[in-house]
Chains A and B, each alone.
Chain A
Amino acid sequence: MEGQAAKRRRVYSIEPKKVVEEAVFTRNYMNYLVPALMKIKAGKRSSHCCEIQNVVKHEVDMAMVFSAQGFAWSNALKANLQRYQNEHSSSSGGPIITSNNNNNPSNSSSKSIKYVNKDIKGEEYEDGFINNNNNNNNNNNNNNNNSKLRCLRRLIPGGEDMCNEQMVEELESYISCLKMQVNVLQYLADKNC
């Protein structure tokens, strides 16, 4: 089954590498996030803090999506967010616990995915580590690498649908966008303390 899935995934055309420009990304990000945050703060004074957190998180991710268009991961992230939004626009608005909870109904949201990844990575990493310790067979190394690639695949939004090649490509843009996002958020957070 894995093989079949892998074969399916291979049909993918490599497009020329897109580079995310720092300035452009940051500007778009701020442009989106700042008004959104202001709106949140203005509107929901009395809400539960968890809700606010979720909404902020949501906006943070949306800002990411809009600042880095055209990548597979950003499209996947967008889809996740929209799904999340659809799920919760209809819900009664109970706070979604953004904790290490795999039973979260909104499992498709990027937030819970991030947390889930932590657990999974822990397990996978341990397995890989043990493998490494036991023997250095090529086989084991391959398994090792494969499990790590699987980890990475879960880390990057939309990674399950990518083949290894594509995933490594997307990783470049994803990592640089994450870095820039962290910068922006750090700046915003420090500015407002």
Chain B
Amino acid sequence: MLHCLNSNASGSEMTVLERQRATIKWQHNNNHHQGYSSSSSPSPSSSSSISLVQVQSSSPACLAAGAWPKLDNNFLMGFTSSPSSGFPLPPPPPPTTSAASFDLNSAISRTSSCPLPSLAEGKETTTPNNKRKTDKFHNTKVVASDNDNKDKRVKVAAPNDSATVGKKGTQDCGDNSNKDNSKVSEVQNQKPDYIHVRARRGQATDSHSLAERVRREKISERMKFLQDLVPGCNKITGKAGMLDEIINYVQSLQRQVEFLSMKLAAVNPRLDFNMDDLFTREVFPACAASFPAIEMSPNMANPASYLHFNSSQQIDAGINPQDISLRRTISAPVSAPETFLDSSCFTQTLPSSTWEGDFQNLYSVAFDQARAASFPSQLFTGS
């Protein structure tokens, strides 16, 4: 790695990642005798442009916490946005060679212009996307600072606050502007759990835009989960359509709740001991509980279908009947209401009418034949 740095005299070709690795190695070599300040110490004053490199897989804590203040001077200087000579060799130990370090002001913007070598850390390198100025590595988030000659503290953006980089920066560094893609802030008590973003070709590389993109991607990820929840969303691919569906669904559910609660209020309830019984039997052993519980709700349209539903949800082939019965029992009383909504989905599956018939059907579908034969008998003997 070091030789690589050496060889790349034109620092524009130096990749950020290589710099990081070099940093780490340098760190290990010329370490703590320099009396590292704590993570909260401000970066050296002479650092004009400091960029922050967050490395996920390498020792993030030490890097983030201890490394930057010292590194800033000579190492991170290289990450400035001003195009200049090549990246300095990290070895120069004394952090005071600011003069030399200013030479190192190879733009981070320029660094990523070379295709990244595939690095051991398993970072993706998408070569076509490396041409961007402030391209970031897959596993790193680089924030280049602006060129103010003031004490800037190096802060690592917290993972979930990737968008707050700007915010916190502005709090700490008075006039840190967003204009030139940079924020410098210091590692405070943040966990080394960073969001790693790569700016794609043709896309804005502003830290805010990147953060925005991260957020958007997260949101679309979540929307995929929602697709499973909201029925009928599988065919819809667009975000707008999905949102529409979700809105409609939530509204319809809420309206249903209101309607049902009004209905409940209007109805003279025999709000019954049945409920309590249903729940007290939860703790009973399997065979005793399930049968009476199911018996007690005669209006259940398709109890077998519900059971089938539960079983298909809960049961793998490997679960033994004991567990099945127990689990079924516990869920049977409390899930009784779900029958109504779910039975509509499952009416086709179990058309049989008789209770025993349903059981047989159910178990032949859900279980091995051997188990199916034995289980119903288990269930009914106890009652």
Binding site for B on A (CB under 8 A): 7, 10-14, 22-23, 26-27, 30-31, 34, 37-38, 40-41, 49, 52-53, 55-57, 60, 98, 111, 114, 117-118, 121, 125, 128, 132, 141, 144-145, 148-149, 151-152, 155-156, 164-165, 168-169, 171-172, 174-176, 178-193
A95 to chain B, nearest CB (A): 12
Decide if A185 touches B261 in the complex (CB within 8 Å).
Answer: yes
Instruction: Kindly state the separation between the CA atoms of A118 and B267 in the bound complex, as whole angstroms.
Output: 26
Instruction: Kindly state the separation between the CA atoms of A172 and B226 in the bound complex, as whole angstroms.
Output: 6
A57 to chain B, nearest CB (A): 5
**Secondary structure class of chain B's binding surface, majority of residues:** helix
**Which residue of A11, A13, A151, A186 contacts B340 across the interface (Cβ within 8 Å)?**
A186
Decide if A155 touches B243 in the complex (CB within 8 Å).
Answer: no
Decide if B215 touches A11 in the complex (CB within 8 Å).
Answer: no
Complex contacts, A111 vs chain B, CB 8 Å:
258
Which residue of A is nearest B242, CB measured?
A148
B222 to chain A, nearest CB (A): 4
Which residue of B is nearest A184, CB measured?
B337
Which residue of A is nearest B338, CB measured?
A183
Decide if B264 touches A56 in the complex (CB within 8 Å).
Answer: yes
Which residue of A is nearest B271, CB measured?
A38
Decide if B215 touches A187 in the complex (CB within 8 Å).
Answer: no
Complex contacts, B266 vs chain A, CB 8 Å:
49, 53
**Which residue of B167, B226, B262, B334 contacts A7 across the interface (Cβ within 8 Å)?**
B167
Complex contacts, B299 vs chain A, CB 8 Å:
190-191
- Is B219 an interface position by the 8 A CB rule? yes
Complex contacts, A180 vs chain B, CB 8 Å:
338
- The number of residue pairs between A and B whose CB atoms lie closer than 8 Å in the complex comes to 191
Instruction: Kindly state the separation between the CA atoms of A175 and B245 in the bound complex, as whole angstroms.
Output: 12
Contact A182 B341, CB 8 Å, known A171-B246, A172-B229: yes
Decide if A53 touches B279 in the complex (CB within 8 Å).
Answer: no
Interface size class of B (residues with CB under 8 A): 35 or more
Complex contacts, A164 vs chain B, CB 8 Å:
215, 219
**Which residue of A11, A30, A118, A182 contacts B279 across the interface (Cβ within 8 Å)?**
A30
Decide if A148 touches B243 in the complex (CB within 8 Å).
Answer: yes
- Is B378 an interface position by the 8 A CB rule? no
Complex contacts, A49 vs chain B, CB 8 Å:
265-266
Which residue of A is nearest B337, CB measured?
A187
**Which residue of A23, A185, A190 contacts B331 across the interface (Cβ within 8 Å)?**
A23
The stretch of B73-81, B102-110, B247-255 that contacts the partner chain: B247-255
Decide if B337 touches A175 in the complex (CB within 8 Å).
Answer: no
Complex contacts, B331 vs chain A, CB 8 Å:
22-23
Instruction: Kindly state the separation between the CA atoms of A172 and B233 in the bound complex, as whole angstroms.
Output: 14
Instruction: Kindly state the separation between the CA atoms of A164 and B217 in the bound complex, as whole angstroms.
Output: 12
Q: Interface 1/0s, chain B 255-287, versus A by CB < 8 A?
A: 111101111111111111011101100100000
Instruction: Kindly state the separation between the CA atoms of A176 and B249 in the bound complex, as whole angstroms.
Output: 11
Complex contacts, B251 vs chain A, CB 8 Å:
117-118, 121, 155
